[in-house]
Amino acid sequence: MPVDATPDPYADSIRFGQRLQILRTRRGLTRDGLGGLVGRSGSWVKGLETGRLKTPKLEVVLRLAEVLRVQNLSDLTGDQAPLSLFTGPGHPCLAAVAAAVNAFALTVDAEAPSAAHIQARLSKAWAARHSAPNHRAVLGGLLPGLIRDAQMAVRQSDRAEQRRAAQAALSQTYSLAQFFLAYQPEPALLWRVAERGMVAAQESEDPHTIGIAAWLTAQAHRDAGPGHFDAADTVTREAIIFLDPLLSDADDDVLAVAGALRFEAGYTAARRGESGTAWRHWDRAASMARRLPESYYHPVTSFSQAIMGAHAVTIAVELHAGGESVRQAAASDAATIPSRPRRARHRIEEARAYQLDGQADVALATLEQAHAAAPETIAYNGYAKRIILEEAESRVPARRQRAAGLAVKLGLLAA
């Protein structure tokens, strides 16, 4: 390696402080910025990076890993803790879904189903996802056939209108695939699906499909870390500009996806620590939600009147406002969220709020509710795993036992 090259933080010979500095720099954070996000000072971060301070306890390491968005805890700690944190286990259906995405079958003799038929199957797939506790298993079984047929429908389209409809169905199939692939150990495959979904959406010229693809692409950028926040903002801004002129007489689905994009802009602002901007976007999204029927629930984004309370919890948590997070959690009602995985995700956000506020026992109880709603959601969620592992080292015996029980259920600890 050239002497002036950036060291690789994953090399075994690099100590914790050096890894911390490299990962912090790659995320575009100052020492003061990183310290503030974990409740410490910039000089404390400097002490870790220079080796003046020893490697902190697991609960602090987990908090640093969360802020730095490392995919595997060993990226930060070396061989001391080879634990996957923000990436879940590879699902048994992952190989079949990957094979379908990567297939390049140009000589299939079968006749493709119509775009309308594929859309009907997509509607059933989304309904099954929302109602199933093992939603990844459900999607993993449906996606290979859907991807194959949607790709084939595009290839066999011979009229412009038919091809646009097929592209919309293909894009929405890739959107479904992104929900399956999220937080699995295949980031390149996730990005390939996101990009293909966006291209197919643009080819479809359908505002609703374009909005969904933009919503998911923005999430992929944001979850890649602070260095990608600008890209996330660009995608949401362009999509909002595209959709805004259509909203005066738009149907509920287009209005909902526009509202979901507004919230995504607020979510990214909260990740940046921009409180005023984050809440302004939330307010705009809430006003759009109120234009929807009370019983309406968007099948992809979950945007609805019911979801805005959950979104408020997320904004407060991302801003690290413990008291406000708990107030928003108390005001929201997860029981009104019809989707089991989305309800579980909300419970995890509530648990983050309670832990921020120092209510560890309530946080664990809330994670138990998340597990009851959708075990696969919590198994793939890095925030939930961080809380559980941190409390598994609690000095309070009952709390430690409760956390250990959850850790066993998630496969983080041996039974």
CA 378, 353, 291: angle at the middle one, nearest 5?
85
Domain limits at 40? 16-80
**Whether pLDDT at 88 is above 70:** no
Kindly state the average pLDDT of the residues 369-390. Answer: 91
Q: Is 325 helix (H, G, I), strand (E, B) or coil?
A: helix
| CATH code for the domain in which residue 44 is found | 1.10.260.40
Does some domain include residue 264? no
Q: Assess if residue 59 is contained within a domain.
A: yes
Q: What is the share, in percent, of the chain residues with pLDDT greater than 70?
A: 93
The C-alpha atoms of residue 42 and residue 117 are separated, in whole angstroms, by 57
End of a domain among 183, 205, 227? 205
pLDDT at 322: 87
pLDDT of residue 110: 86
Above 60 in pLDDT, residue 184? yes
Considering the chain, what is the average pLDDT of its residues? 90
Between 160 and 380, residue with greater pLDDT? 160
Query: How far, in Å, CA of 124 to CA of 113, rounded?
Result: 16
**Dihedral, 47, 51, 54, 59 alpha carbons, nearest 10:** 60
Same domain, 160 and 180: yes
Same domain, 51 and 157: no
Helix (H, G, I), strand (E, B) or coil at 179: helix
Total domain count, the chain = 2
**Same domain for 195 and 100:** yes
Q: In the structure, what pLDDT confidence band is assigned to residue 411 with cuts at 50, 70 and 90?
A: confident
* Residue 131 and residue 56 share a domain: no
Is residue 21 included in any domain, yes or no? yes
Collapse the DSSP code of 211 into the 3-class scheme (helix H, G, I; strand E, B; otherwise coil) and give the result: helix
For residues 35 and 365, which has the higher predicted lDDT (pLDDT)?
Answer: 365
Can you tell me the distance from the alpha carbon of 213 to that of 197, in angstroms, rounded to the nearest whole number?
Answer: 6
Domain final residue, candidates 205, 222, 253: 205
CA 85 to chain centre: 14
> Is residue 239 situated within a structural domain?
no
Residue 133 has pLDDT above 50, yes or no: yes
The residue out of 168, 188, 205 marking a domain boundary is: 205
On whether both 45 and 128 belong to a single domain, the answer is no
Higher-confidence residue of 4 and 125: namely 125
Predicted local distance difference test score (pLDDT) of residue 415: 56
The residue type found at 18 is Q
Q: Distance (Å, rounded) from C-alpha 388 to C-alpha 402?
A: 9
Note whether 128 and 184 are same-domain residues: yes
pLDDT-derived band at 82 (thresholds 50, 70, 90) equals very low
